[in-house]
């Protein structure tokens, strides 16, 4: 047995094969040449031969030498044809070395590629993943993709895929040129072939897209864009399930998909659809250009968004939600000259809900909360009661905030747009700094004075504030409103300030200001 195994072959630094020199030399032209060179160099035969970058590694080499040991016979299937073909090329297993050698047999098998079923082609492409570069350089990937495109064209509506008349025949004698395959726009959300192709790796999909001439910023196909989004969504789900996928591998596919989305824009995607796209591609290494383009598109439609749309996971940005993204979208919306007052107020109401939703997040910084609250112009809100409620929620969830931070947080309020009930609650709210409560009370006092002035000047007695109609019958009602607010304020603040003075947090001379 030792004399029979007279040649060691080390494959890809993975495994050592003990083989027979004569058997391998009969079929493998490259090994025959190497063995002769080794002998001329008078190297010791037992030192073996080093082979690097062998397609398929040890498994591929084992299948190739099985062919040799079986005297040139092997079962060829769609599952192993790619590997056997590449091994045969690598080892020089041609007709010049032996009749009906492995390369010839694989080429004969591949001649029937256009008769293969759809699943056969997918299986064969999938099998190429571990040696894709070699399969690509040998021209095998191109053959498989051409066959794949032909299958799609044969079974798809003509509005989606059209083959030119010169190659519309399904005959295997016809060569399908990728330039002749044109993808048409379609409103179809999911084609029959989408799901099957999700098993292929990103580099295979990249070659598929390139073969169609729709890679990168050349993508002008809605159906291909939808396919890429479906493919990327599947990849993201797999990653979330713990399957090892490198997100960087998908970055160019994500850019290609987003280029298509930007080109089609509002004609093909709703605001919710655009947020769905953003969720899919956000963690896949999207380029700044594509990210900015997608955000511009969403920002222009922000008035159509819902609260659920805005609740995007914050990732590593510090917080449960991506608040920075929402701030950018608001700025894009506000600076759009086509935005009407009605749309602006609609977004204002939406952001008030968003503030209430993100308020309990204990990792949310004051600056980010204010970034949302202050990003809209004052006229976007008829009242600030929802903003006040959101602030109170935030304060309850962040009890360790300093007096300065709490005061800064309340700086986004317009006290004149706070209703009576909100002012009552603010006046007795222990989480609100006393100075803020004084300012709110002063603002209400100013409103009453202006109302009295309007009535004295024979203006309409209906004074509109906070989107509510307050009917002032006489000045006594005005005075009673101020006194009611002051009574609540002084009652709550005296006790609070007494406690703070006792603790040494306020000087003894501190007094509560009066307005009447």
DSSP assignment of 184-222, as one string? PP---S--TTTTGGGGS-HHHHHHHHHHTT--GGG---H
User: What pLDDT, on a 0 to 100 scale, did the predictor assign at position 364?
Assistant: 94
User: What pLDDT, on a 0 to 100 scale, did the predictor assign at position 509?
Assistant: 46
User: What pLDDT, on a 0 to 100 scale, did the predictor assign at position 153?
Assistant: 87
User: What pLDDT, on a 0 to 100 scale, did the predictor assign at position 121?
Assistant: 97
Cα gap 204→252, rounded to integer Å: 12
% of the chain residues with pLDDT over 90? 59
Cα gap 427→494, rounded to integer Å: 12
Full-model pTM: 0.80
Helices and strands, number each (H, E), in the chain: 22, 7
Q: Tell me which long-range contacts 112-116 makes (C-beta under 8 A, separation of at least 24).
A: 112/172, 113/143, 113/144, 113/147, 113/172, 114/147, 114/150, 114/170, 114/171, 114/172, 115/172, 116/78, 116/147
Helix-helix angle 102-110:81-91, to 10 degrees: 140
Q: Is the pLDDT of residue 288 over 70?
A: yes
Cα gap 87→74, rounded to integer Å: 13
Distances (CA, A) of 431 to 389, 398, 427, 440, 487: 12, 10, 10, 14, 18
| 107-132 pLDDT, tens digit each | 999 999 989 999 999 999 999 999 99
Strands (E), 45-167: 49-51, 161-163
The band of 442, judged by pLDDT with boundaries at 50, 70 and 90, is confident
User: What pLDDT, on a 0 to 100 scale, did the predictor assign at position 227?
Assistant: 95
157: alpha, beta or left? (left if phi > 0; alpha if psi -120 to 50): beta
| 382-415 pLDDT, tens digit each | 999 999 999 999 999 999 999 999 999 999 999 8
User: What pLDDT, on a 0 to 100 scale, did the predictor assign at position 469?
Assistant: 39
Q: Tell me which long-range contacts 110-116 makes (C-beta under 8 A, separation of at least 24).
A: 110/81, 110/85, 110/140, 110/143, 111/172, 112/172, 113/143, 113/144, 113/147, 113/172, 114/147, 114/150, 114/170, 114/171, 114/172, 115/172, 116/78, 116/147
Residue 394: in which H helix or E strand, if any?
Answer: helix 385-397
Distances (CA, A) of 322 to 301, 326, 334, 360, 364: 18, 7, 19, 14, 10
Region 427-441 average pLDDT: 86
User: What pLDDT, on a 0 to 100 scale, did the predictor assign at position 490?
Assistant: 60
- Quote the mean pLDDT of the chain: 82
User: What pLDDT, on a 0 to 100 scale, did the predictor assign at position 169?
Assistant: 35
Cα gap 486→516, rounded to integer Å: 9
Which parts of 41-100 fold into alpha helices (H)?
A: 57-69, 81-91
Cα gap 61→179, rounded to integer Å: 36
Question: Phi/psi at 173 (nearest 5 deg)?
Answer: -75, -20
| 153-194 pLDDT, tens digit each | 887 753 454 333 233 333 444 433 443 344 434 344 678 899
User: What pLDDT, on a 0 to 100 scale, did the predictor assign at position 474?
Assistant: 42
Cα gap 194→210, rounded to integer Å: 17
Residue whose C-alpha is closest to residue 448's, from 407, 486, 410: 486
Q: Which of 12-16, 54-58, 127-131, 400-404 has the lowest mean pLDDT?
A: 12-16
Higher pLDDT among residues 414 and 501, named by residue = 414
Cβ neighbour number for residue 471 with a 10 Å cutoff: 8
| 319-354 pLDDT, tens digit each | 789 999 999 999 999 999 999 999 999 999 999 999
Question: Phi/psi at 442 (nearest 5 deg)?
Answer: -65, -40
Residue 279: in which H helix or E strand, if any?
Answer: helix 271-281
The band of 45, judged by pLDDT with boundaries at 50, 70 and 90, is low
- How many C-alpha atoms does 135 have within 13 Å on its Cβ side? 27
Cα gap 280→234, rounded to integer Å: 9
Region 486-504 average pLDDT: 57
User: What pLDDT, on a 0 to 100 scale, did the predictor assign at position 351?
Assistant: 98
User: What pLDDT, on a 0 to 100 scale, did the predictor assign at position 90?
Assistant: 97
| 225-281 pLDDT, tens digit each | 999 999 999 998 887 665 556 678 999 999 999 999 999 888 889 999 999 999 999
Residue with tokens 């010049």: 96
Joined together, the tokens standing for residue 300 give 């222009």
N residues, the chain: 516
Region 471-496 average pLDDT: 55
Cα gap 404→221, rounded to integer Å: 54
Q: Is the pLDDT of residue 465 over 50?
A: no
Higher pLDDT among residues 66 and 191, named by residue = 66
User: What pLDDT, on a 0 to 100 scale, did the predictor assign at position 324?
Assistant: 94
Asked whether the beta carbons of 180 and 150 are under 8 A apart, the reply is no
User: What pLDDT, on a 0 to 100 scale, did the predictor assign at position 141?
Assistant: 97
Nearest-Å Rg of the Cα atoms of the chain is: 37
Question: Phi/psi at 51 (nearest 5 deg)?
Answer: -120, 120
Region 15-24 average pLDDT: 91
Q: Cα–Cα–Cα angle for 205, 254, 144, nearest 5°?
A: 5
């Amino acid at each position: 047995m030792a004399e029979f195994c007279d040649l060691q072959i080390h494959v890809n630094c993975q495994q050592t094969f003990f083989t027979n020199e004569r058997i391998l030399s009969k079929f493998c032209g490259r090994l025959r040449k190497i063995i002769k060179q080794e002998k001329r160099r008078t190297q010791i035969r037992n030192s073996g031969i080093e082979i690097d970058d062998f397609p398929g590694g040890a498994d591929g080499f084992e299948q190739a030498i099985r062919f040799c040991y079986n005297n040139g016979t092997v079962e060829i299937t769609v599952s192993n044809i790619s590997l056997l073909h590449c091994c045969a090329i690598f080892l020089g297993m041609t007709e010049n070395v032996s009749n009906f050698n492995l390369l010839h047999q694989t080429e004969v098998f591949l001649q029937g590629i256009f008769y293969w079923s759809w699943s056969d082609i997918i299986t064969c492409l999938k099998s190429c993943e571990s040696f894709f570069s070699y399969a690509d350089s040998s021209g095998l990937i191109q053959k498989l993709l051409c066959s794949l495109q032909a299958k799609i064209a044969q079974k798809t509506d003509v509005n989606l895929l059209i083959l030119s008349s010169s190659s519309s025949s399904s005959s295997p004698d016809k060569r399908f040129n990728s330039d002749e395959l044109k993808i048409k726009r379609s409103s179809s959300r999911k084609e029959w072939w989408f799901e099957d192709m999700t098993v292929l790796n990103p580099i295979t999909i990249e070659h598929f897209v390139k073969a169609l001439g729709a890679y990168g910023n050349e993508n002008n196909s809605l159906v291909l864009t939808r396919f890429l989004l479906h493919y990327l969504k599947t990849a993201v789900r797999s990653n979330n399930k713990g399957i090892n996928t490198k997100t960087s591998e998908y970055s160019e596919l994500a850019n290609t998909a987003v280029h298509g989305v930007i080109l089609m824009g509002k004609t093909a995607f709703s605001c919710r659809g655009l947020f769905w796209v953003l969720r899919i591609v956000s963690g896949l290494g999207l380029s700044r250009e594509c990210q900015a383009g997608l955000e511009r598109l969403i920002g222009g439609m922000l008035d159509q968004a819902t609260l659920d749309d805005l609740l995007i996971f914050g990732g590593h940005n510090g917080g449960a939600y991506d608040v920075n993204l929402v701030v950018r979208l608001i700025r894009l919306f506000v600076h759009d000259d086509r935005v009407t007052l009605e749309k602006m107020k609609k977004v204002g109401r939406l952001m008030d809900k968003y503030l209430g939703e993100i308020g309990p997040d204990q990792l949310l910084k004051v600056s980010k909360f204010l970034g949302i609250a202050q990003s809209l112009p004052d006229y976007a809100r008829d009242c600030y009661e929802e903003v006040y409620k959101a602030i109170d929620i935030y304060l309850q969830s962040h009890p360790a905030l300093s007096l300065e931070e709490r005061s800064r947080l309340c700086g986004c309020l317009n006290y004149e747009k706070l209703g009576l009930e909100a002012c009552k609650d603010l006046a007795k709210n222990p989480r609100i700094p006393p100075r803020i409560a004084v300012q709110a009370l002063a603002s209400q006092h100013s409103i009453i004075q202006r109302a009295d002035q309007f009535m004295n000047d024979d203006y309409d007695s209906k004074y509109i504030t906070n989107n509510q109609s307050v009917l002032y019958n006489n000045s006594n009602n005005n005075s009673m409103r101020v006194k009611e607010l002051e009574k609540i304020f002084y009652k709550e603040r005296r006790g609070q300030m007494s406690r703070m003075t006792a603790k040494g947090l306020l000087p003894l001379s501190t007094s509560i200001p009066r307005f009447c």
